[in-house]
Amino acid sequence: MMEGGTPRVPSASPAGLQGLYRRHANGARFRSWAALTMSVVAWIAWLSGVVSSRQLQLVLAGVTFLILYNLPTLWVLARIHDLRLYNLFSLFVNLLEVLAYTWIIHALGGIDAAYLTPIYCILIGYLGVVAPRRTPFIVSVMCILAFSGMILMEYFGLLHSHLSPPFEQAFHVRPPLINQLMFVAAVGAMLFVLGFISSRTAHLLRKNRQELQQRAVELERRVRERTAELTRANRELAREVRDRRRAEAALAQSEELYRTLLETSPDAVVVTDVNARIRMANRQALKLYGYSSQEEAQANRVNTLEGVAETHRDQFILDSLETFESGRSACREYMLLKGDGTPFYGEVAVAVLPDEQGEPGTVISVIRDITDRKDAEERLKNSLREKEVLLSEVHHRVKNNMQVISSLINLQARGVKDNGVAEALTVVRNRVTSMALVHEALYRSESLADLDLGEYLSRMTNALSQSHLIGGRAPRLTVQVEPGLKIGIDKALPCGLILNELVSNALKYAFPEEQTGEIAIRAGAHDLEQVRLEIGDDGVGLPEGVELNHPNTLGLSLVNDLVRLQLKGSIDVGRGQGTNFVIIFRN
């Protein structure tokens, strides 16, 4: 009956069912040995004449049943996977066992054999004690019903008594039916008490065992979790230690790099607080100010304001306040003082580092002695002023000389009777005048490298208009130049000569027989690097057969060469109503 106990399992897991199957297999072995023992006892009783051959055969039949039904029941149990069905089939196995034991008791004499009473009680007690732990009274009820049924059937003669005749008179004691039923009830009550105690004890033991197992599992889980937490904490701690060591090494390396850069810098570096008190100065700063150590510098100079000349101190304070407020680095020039009071020009770059509260905390000043550079700049400025004065004087002298030449040519032209010669001298005079106007414009200009093209063209056209005035009549000249357009001196001279030739030709040939008209001069930027110069009139136009690429006159040849060789540009001519020259060159 050991297999009849079906302990409580968490679920119908394969491992739980395998455990129950092992209990059934162990119970089958125990049942087989018990059946064999009963057969031996029955055989001894037969030899002693206590039981008959018929009784021995019946006992052996019951024993054989107890042994043979183990294999099919175990085969069925091995193939059941549902826990409830498994428990029901286990109770069926217990019922078969109870019936087999009842059959053996009946075969040995039943209630008519008084000597079987102790065995009867022991068997009922055994079945009650080893009954299923989950339902402790089911097998007990089976025993009571089976034994009570056997008593009633023997009492009413439905079952024949198998008591051996020699012992029938000695052992045959037939108590009244009520006494037998009371005896069975008493034994059943004892059976229930023993079954309850056994079941309760087993339940408590199982519960305590399960609680201990659960606590052990929980303890192991907590130990594993705590161990894992400690492992993670150790890893985090080790990582933090490694990170801290790397950070410390990087910080030490950064400090060493900073110190090396500071000490090897060719510029003086001074570190102060917001009150200009000196905290540190590098080697170049000590050398610049004439101190041998930082302690000497801090002892002789309370703050950096003492190193600024009086004339620049107010500006230094204003610039420092502006740097503190904006937080941006600034580089300015001041007159500074060395440790012995010697003044020098210094270029000071100031940077402000904030403290933990975000307020200005540390001021780093990089100072460079620019006295030599200042002296060189001053010498260059003086030299440049001298050269500008000299160049301006040269332009003035050249302009005067050209005006003298122009006047001499004009006097010569007046004394010549030949009109052709006089006209040729006039053309030469106009060309000299155009060049003289360039030098005059440069002399008047603030810059000696370029001049205002609009002013130059206006003066040029006025001079040409005056020189070609005939009887108080002359075509109208208009000048339209983009404001602020300037050209270099290398472009101004060719432009002046080109303007002289084209405007002179228009004044002489575009308007015959006192015809009036307009000569328009326009100039402007063609793109970012080019200038467009247009000279046009609404006169009679160029004669037929005149080609710009193959000119047959000195004037057009000169214009073509000046555009292509001097200006490195292009020239086109329009032959619509009048003549329009378009010149484009790089400025």
Whether the per-residue pLDDT at 170 is higher than 50: the answer is no
Residue 332 lies in a domain: yes
What percent of the chain is predicted at pLDDT more than 90?
Answer: 1
Residue 554 lies in a domain: no
* Domain at 338, CATH number: 3.30.450.20
**374-399 mean pLDDT:** 71
Q: Mark out the alpha helices in 445-488 (DSSP H runs).
A: 453-467
Residue 217 lies in a domain: no
> How many domains are there within the chain?
2
> CA dist 554 to 24, 356, 507, 541, 574, Å?
138, 84, 17, 18, 20
Which range among 10-24, 353-367, 374-388, 532-546 shows the weakest confidence by mean pLDDT? 10-24
Same domain, 145 and 286: no
Whether the per-residue pLDDT at 168 is higher than 60: the answer is no
Whether the per-residue pLDDT at 376 is higher than 60: the answer is yes
Q: How confident is the model at residue 454 (pLDDT cuts 50, 70, 90)?
A: confident
Q: Can you say whether residue 290 is alpha, beta or left, with left for phi > 0 and alpha for psi between -120 and 50 degrees? A: left
Query: How far is C-alpha 396 from the chain's CA centre?
Result: 71
Q: What is the per-residue DSSP string for 14-53?
A: HHHHHHHHHHHHHHHHHHHHHHHHHHHHHHHHHHTTSS-H
Residue 364 lies in a domain: yes
Same domain, 138 and 7: yes
Last residue within a domain, chosen from 349, 369, 389 = 369
Sheet architecture: strand order including 278-281: 278-281, 268-273, 360-369, 343-354, 330-337
Same domain, 172 and 283: no
Average pLDDT, the chain: 75
| 489, 529 contact by CB (below 8 A) | no
pLDDT of amino acid 311: 80
Same domain, 285 and 183: no
Residue 505 lies in a domain: no
Q: CA angle, corner 414, sides to 411 and 420, nearest 5?
A: 120
Can you tell me the distance from the alpha carbon of 379 to that of 76, in angstroms, rounded to the nearest whole number?
Answer: 120
Residue numbers of the domain that contains 353: 265-369
Can you tell me the distance from the alpha carbon of 141 to that of 255, in angstroms, rounded to the nearest whole number?
Answer: 93
Same domain, 173 and 69: yes
Same domain, 160 and 278: no
pLDDT of amino acid 5: 40
Which range among 192-206, 302-316, 444-458 shows the weakest confidence by mean pLDDT? 192-206
Could you report how far apart the first and last alpha carbons of the chain are, in Å? 122
Same domain, 50 and 155: yes
pLDDT of amino acid 470: 47
Same domain, 170 and 295: no
Same domain, 72 and 174: yes
Last residue within a domain, chosen from 343, 369, 395 = 369
Residue 344 lies in a domain: yes
Last residue within a domain, chosen from 342, 369, 396 = 369
Residue 103 lies in a domain: yes
Can you tell me the distance from the alpha carbon of 177 to that of 150, in angstroms, rounded to the nearest whole number?
Answer: 12
| 449, 489 contact by CB (below 8 A) | yes
Same domain, 56 and 186: yes
Same domain, 12 and 160: yes
Q: How confident is the model at residue 35 (pLDDT cuts 50, 70, 90)?
A: confident
List of residues 6+ apart from 308 with CB closer than 8 A: 316, 334, 335, 336, 337
Residue 212 lies in a domain: no
* Three-state secondary structure call for residue 452: strand
Which range among 7-21, 27-41, 44-58, 63-77 shows the weakest confidence by mean pLDDT? 7-21
Same domain, 189 and 275: no
pLDDT of amino acid 503: 84
Q: What is the per-residue pLDDT across 70-92, written as a single tens digit (0 to 9) for each?
A: 889 889 888 888 878 887 888 88
